[in-house]
């Protein structure tokens, strides 16, 4: 499925940020599909030990490489910083494990433009998710309640990596959480910015590969710890 175009905004000023760590097995079709939509792609190779960076480069992405693995939060912030430096009008974050559909990018970008919101957040619970195990569903619902409690945002999905933000919105994001707690931290920063946000339905397709890379209960505990500890220092 090809990433679609949308009117008026130059697609090259729309930057798709992909944080990737050891994704050589799946990254080529993802990058190629997005590049075919004429979007600009920055793939942050987060210290991969395989050929993720080289494959993405060959597929047409701009590749920014962390010398060592820092975590998805750090990689996204690097990608956002790079895209802003390139004069991005809109920034979309997109997962590297094949769970997201490139065709949803146009939907997010159009919603950003039509709603005048600064953040458009993808929601699998407004859209659809295929192959989601019950344990993952329960964990995500717990995360939704937790995020509502700590951010005050009334969202239907909180740990969805598919989101779009305006340039102004992206400038308000400064992730300090290098690892998985960045998803909650990002929502905290959206709440703090007081800029408008909306949710749009998106499709998430779980595969054996993406599930193996996903989070478990122990990761949730680590996220809680990271978020708590961050409040103790500057």
Partner 1 sequence: MIAQIGFSILLTSVMAYAWTEYRRAPVIAILSMLVATAGLYFVWLPAHATTLAALVGIGRGVDLIIYIWVIISLMLLLNLHLKLRSQAELITILMREAAVANARRGKPSK
- The residue from 30, 61, 170, 190 that contacts partner 1 (CB under 8 A) is 61
| Two structure tokens written together for 36 | 């075919």
β-pairing verdict for 119-130 and 62-66: unpaired
- Using CB under 8 A as the binding rule, whether residue 176 contacts partner 1 is answered as yes
- Using CB under 8 A as the binding rule, whether residue 62 contacts partner 1 is answered as yes
- The residue from 44, 88, 162, 204 that contacts partner 1 (CB under 8 A) is 44
- Count other C-beta atoms under 10 Å from residue 142's C-beta: 13
For 152, how many CA atoms within 13 A lie in the half-sphere containing its CB?
7
| Two structure tokens written together for 160 | 């969805």
Nearest to 41 by CA among 30, 52, 54, 49: 30
For the CB of residue 75, give the shortest distance to partner 1 in the complex, in Å: 9
DSSP 234: -
C-alpha angle 41/24/80, rounded to 5°? 30
- Using CB under 8 A as the binding rule, whether residue 49 contacts partner 1 is answered as no
For the CB of residue 231, give the shortest distance to partner 1 in the complex, in Å: 8
Binding mask 77-116 for partner 1 (x = CB under 8 A): xx--xx--x-------------------------------
Nearer to partner 1, 67 or 218 (CB): 67
Site residues for partner 1 per CB under 8 A: 32, 35, 42, 44, 53, 56-68, 70, 74, 77-78, 81-82, 85, 176, 178, 229-234
């Amino acid at each position: 499925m090809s990433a679609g175009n949308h009117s008026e905004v130059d697609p090259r000023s729309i930057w798709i940020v992909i944080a990737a760590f050891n994704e050589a097995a799946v990254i080529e079709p993802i990058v190629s599909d997005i590049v075919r939509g004429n979007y600009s792609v920055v793939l942050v190779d987060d210290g991969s030990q395989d050929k993720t960076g080289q494959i993405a480069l060959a597929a047409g992405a701009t590749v920014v490489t962390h010398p060592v693995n820092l975590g998805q939060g750090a990689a996204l912030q690097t990608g956002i910083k790079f895209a802003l430096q390139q004069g991005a009008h809109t920034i979309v974050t997109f997962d590297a494990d094949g769970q997201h559909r490139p065709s949803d990018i146009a939907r997010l970008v159009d919603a950003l433009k039509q709603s005048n919101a600064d953040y458009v957040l993808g929601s699998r619970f407004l859209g659809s998710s295929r192959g989601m195990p019950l344990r993952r569903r329960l964990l995500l619902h717990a995360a939704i309640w937790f995020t509502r409690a700590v951010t005050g945002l009334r969202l239907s999905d909180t740990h969805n990596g598919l989101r779009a933000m305006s340039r102004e919105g992206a400038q308000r994001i400064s992730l300090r959480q290098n690892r998985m707690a960045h998803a909650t931290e990002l929502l905290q920063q959206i709440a703090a910015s007081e800029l408008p946000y909306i949710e749009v339905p998106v499709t998430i397709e779980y595969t054996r590969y993406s599930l193996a890379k996903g989070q478990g209960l122990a990761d949730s505990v680590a996220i809680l710890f990271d978020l708590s500890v961050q409040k103790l220092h500057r």
